[in-house]
A and B are shown apart, each in its own frame.
Chain A
Amino acid sequence: MRRRLAVLAATAALLTACTSTQDHGDKPEATAPVPGTLRVLASSELSDMTPVLDQVRKDTGITVKPTYMGTLDAVDLVAKGGADQAYDALWLSSNDYLRLRPDAAKKIVSETPVMSSPVAIGVRTDAVARLHWKPEDVTWSRIEQAVQDGELTYGMTDPARSNSGFSTLVSVASALSGAQSALTDADVTKATPRLKEFFKGQKLTSGSSGWLAQAYVRRGNVDALLNYESVLKQIDGLTVIRPKDGVVTADYPVSTLAASSAGTREQVRRLTEALRSDAVQKLITERTYRRPVVPSVRPAAGLDTGRRRELPFPGSRSVADGLLDSYENKLRRPSRTVYVLDTSGSMRGDRLDRLKKALIGLTGDFRQREEVTLMPFGSDVKSVRTHVVSPADPQSGLTAIRKDTDALTADGDTAIYTSLEKAYEHLGGGKDTFTSIVLMTDGENTTGAKAGDFDAFYRGLAPAERETPVFPILFGDSDRAELAHIADLTGGRLFDARQGSLDGAFEEIRGYQ
């Protein structure tokens, strides 16, 4: 219990990032520039830099107004021109992926790394003992062996949405492919069987580092997490190991944008200079466990200073995207998801149209081997339709989902809890998949099982069944407290489609499935 509290406290900062990503939806509001204030588009994990930025404001008078976003989404936004005028600087975990996209790279004038953190594995200290590991000797193949022997399970973030997941994927693929230099398409193909084995050990996936840490604590039966060293160091009870055979390191460059004025870029330069001053570098490493980039400041106590090989990041977009594609569609455990969809009378008209549009939009994002169940409800569950996106013929499953979506009609009362119970019954145990339930409702529970009934039902489930989280989406007139309770009870996370869009919420939940 003590450990849990410590972890939750430590991850509070990270969780803030999750909340703020919900607020902006997919198109952040453009705001006017303010003198002395820099609007910075930043990777979500940088939300733990608040105390450092407070210090910078005291030192320089520059206020950083961050907008947090997943790194890959931010690159996408920059590429499409969405950062021009809306932001004064870009601050990502790494510009490696950005550099592979010329449409994004051309928006950057200069970049200055201000700190660094390598990918690492954080292993529950008792598991380190059980495995007889000496942390300084652990290699990726050693980790792979432990996974194959059924001795090690782990969680990581979704590489398609989170830079920590992507860097982890590159580290694992480089190490296990035996590639001696930058990964090629051939290396990825060759490594596929080994990678498939490796990813059988992944028991947790997440769209953000914060929720990953939370789910890890709640689950209690996962041995390790793969993430940046700085994130893992902030979680209690983990032995943080940088595998001996190499890691990918994030170097957090502050980048100036071509669309900004010279004056703005000068402000960004001053910000960078302040971040690289000895005092601030010291604050950064002590507060966030990232490593300083000036030689005069030592890394915080507890950060091992032994050197590690830097694994090269793929030099082409085809390799990077090919790796992601194979992770999503071949390597990772497939997901099984039940969409519990409110189609009660109050959804009639515009709301139902928006639901249909959001669901149909989502069909472009389902992965191969994924099992999707649509469970529309009103006074009770109306139908249960399950489709699998088969690798042999992905289109037929997707077409069927679209067809079922089109056929949804709105009538009846709102039986939230009864429907959720049926979703749990439908899913049963995990079957080597990532299971989850998405609950979309525009109102309060009006019929069927009550909140208390559902609590009792959930507590009566087998432990494996209880591992399925519910991700409720706030929409229309739904009751925040009711839905937040469901998320807390089941270890899910609440998403808000009232400020952003329903499409955005569904899309964001994909990272957790």
Chain B
Amino acid sequence: MLGSGSTLHRVRRIAGIVLAVLLIGGVVAAVVAGRQDGDKGTATKTVRAVIGSEKADFFADPDVVKALAAKGYTVKTETSGSWAMEGLDLKGFDLAFPSSQAPADAIAAKYHVRQPLPRPFYSPLVVVAHRSAAQVLAANGLTTVDQHRGVLKMSAYLDAARHDRTWQQLKGSGKYGELAGTVYIASTDPETSNSGALYLAAASYVAQGGKVVASNADVDRTAPLMRKLISVQGAQQSSSDAPFRDFVSGAGNPLVLVYESQVASLLIGKQDPGDLTVLYPDNTATSDHTVVPLTQTGRDLGELLSTDPALRRLAVRHGFRPQGDAAEFTAATAPYTSYLNQTLTGVRQAPVPTSAVLHEMARRARG
């Protein structure tokens, strides 16, 4: 047999430690700059950064390496779950670059970093669906759909979740054999992964009638529903990459929570999206990629990422929305407006609880 059972509770609690261990042996994408550009004479500054994994492709992009080198930087990155960074010893790093503001604020407080923190780019959470699922949701008043995109009505969705609504109960689902079982959005594990945690942030905000979860009483009140949203999913993946890939390959769940940047980078990279429909929750959380400078070099790099036109363009290539002027994102995604809601019309940003509150929500949701 495979050993004794009922280690579930311990499993979940250990997750935080797990991530810390991951970082210690973390991925080092040593990026050697200064070769391609012919600027051999220029001394480059080596910057050490701990980053959320969804930015690993960006920093590994040879054009990004080149653009950084042109400004005199060699960036060495290690990846870590954003929510695990605050538990790490960041000595020797120039910056931490989590995918959310809440963990960034927690790290900034711990290391007495002065605000404001540079936030070079962001990306809202979206739900990807195949056309069949999107149309059934639309027919039942849970979404609006226009070509390949739509808006998901979160309160209607949460209502369905509260009542354990199944696909079979939704009208029009009969034609699609794959639409069966409880209607749920598949997310990543909220205890280890940023997108899973942000899902709880948005859902709890809506569940409380547009009020961010701030107290123990709020956590208690929302816990049963949050637990339901997570437990129906069974095993969850630990990063948003795998579920998106499963979705694109036609396997996996009908509704999957991903970052808009994942979809945008697929489209900008001219890959075939199949019959993918992008549903923007009407209340969604945004992944604010926030730099926590730990040294002056770190702060300089954070500013550079925010302001350098070449780096902003490259961020767009990876699907991110640069902070401030929307022109670059709008231009690059102009051919894909049937998929992407460029102006986020009808989408409200749900505020994210503090790191401590969100941790507690995630822990209780995983049960």
Show the binding face of A for B, using Cβ within 8 Å: 72, 76, 96, 99-102, 105-106, 109-113, 116, 118, 160, 179-183, 244-246, 249, 251, 253, 256, 258-260, 262, 265-266, 291-296, 305-322, 324-325, 328, 365
Contact = CB atoms under 8 A, between A and B. Distances in A.
7 A-B pairs closest in CB distance: A182-B234, A312-B234, A262-B28, A181-B232, A318-B5, A258-B25, A307-B178
Interface stretch (B149-157, B198-206, B245-253, B316-324): B245-253
A295 B272 contact: yes
Given A245-B180, A315-B235, A253 B27 contact: no
A312 B232 contact: yes
A324 B249 contact: no
Contact of B181 (A100, A180, A316): A180
B265 to A, nearest CB: 14
B161 to A, nearest CB: 10
Nearest to B276: A295
B170 to A, nearest CB: 13
B342 interface: no
Contacts of A253: 242
Contacts of B18: 102, 105-106
B267 to A, nearest CB: 11
Interface string B114-139: 00000000000000001010000000
A320 B233 CA distance: 14
B8 A318 contact: yes
Contacts of A96: 235
B25 A259 contact: yes
Interface of B: 1-8, 10-11, 14-15, 17-18, 21-22, 24-30, 53, 79, 130, 132, 164, 166, 176-182, 184, 231-239, 241-242, 245-246, 248-254, 271-274
A181 B22 CA distance: 31
5 contacts: A102-B11, A182-B232, A258-B25, A309-B177, A312-B181
Contacts, number: 174
B28 A295 contact: no
Contacts of A258: 21-22, 24-25
Nearest to B60: A269
A463 to B, nearest CB: 34
Nearest to A260: B25
Given A251-B246, A258-B25, A310 B235 contact: no
A183 B233 CA distance: 9
A321 B177 CA distance: 30
Nearest to B17: A106
A96 B8 CA distance: 14
Contacts of B14: 102, 106
Nearest to A114: B245
A243 to B, nearest CB: 10
A123 to B, nearest CB: 18
Contacts of B178: 306-309
A308 B249 contact: no
Nearest to B181: A180
Contacts of A105: 18, 238
A305 B27 contact: no
A85 to B, nearest CB: 12
Contact of A296 (B180, B184, B233, B272): B272
Given A102-B7, A180-B166, A307-B176, 13 more contacts: A96-B235, A99-B236, A106-B17, A111-B239, A116-B249, A262-B27, A294-B248, A295-B271, A296-B271, A318-B5, A324-B2, A325-B1, A325-B5
B282 to A, nearest CB: 24
Given A109-B26, A296-B271, A324 B1 contact: yes
Given A113-B242, A294-B248, A307-B250, A246 B181 contact: yes
Given A105-B18, A111-B242, A295 B248 contact: yes
A101 B12 CA distance: 10
A181 B182 contact: yes
Given A111-B242, A259-B25, A295 B2 contact: no
Contacts of B22: 106, 109, 258
Contact of A109 (B27, B234, B236, B249): B27
Contacts of A293: 245-246, 248-249
A106 B26 CA distance: 12
A320 B10 CA distance: 16
B312 to A, nearest CB: 26
A110 B5 contact: no
Nearest to A259: B25
Given A251-B242, A309-B181, A262 B30 contact: yes
Contacts of A109: 22, 25-27, 79
B311 to A, nearest CB: 23
Given A258-B21, A294-B271, A251 B251 contact: yes
B251 A313 contact: no
Contacts of A179: 181
B2 A110 contact: no
Contact of B251 (A160, A180, A291, A316): A291
Max count, chain A CB within 10 A of own CB: residue among B8, B250, B273, B274: B250
A291 B250 CA distance: 9
A110 B251 contact: no
Max count, chain A CB within 10 A of own CB: residue among B10, B24, B238, B239: B238
B180 A309 contact: yes
A259 B253 CA distance: 32
Contact of A181 (B79, B234, B236, B249): B234
Contacts of A99: 235-238
Nearest to B14: A102
B8 to A, nearest CB: 4
Contacts of A295: 248-249, 271-274
A181 B8 contact: no
Contacts of A307: 130, 132, 176-178, 250
B28 to A, nearest CB: 3
A306 B250 CA distance: 9
B3 A182 contact: no
Nearest to B228: A181
Contacts of B177: 244-245, 306-309
Contacts of B274: 295
B4 to A, nearest CB: 7
B11 A316 contact: yes
Contact of B249 (A76, A111, A291): A291
A180 B164 contact: yes
A316 B10 CA distance: 11
B81 to A, nearest CB: 11
Contacts of A312: 181, 232-235
B186 to A, nearest CB: 9
B249 A315 contact: no
Contacts of A101: 11
Contacts of B238: 99, 105, 111
A321 B1 contact: yes
Given A102-B11, A102-B18, A294-B271, A315 B236 contact: yes
A258 B3 CA distance: 24
B248 to A, nearest CB: 5
A329 to B, nearest CB: 9
A309 B246 contact: no
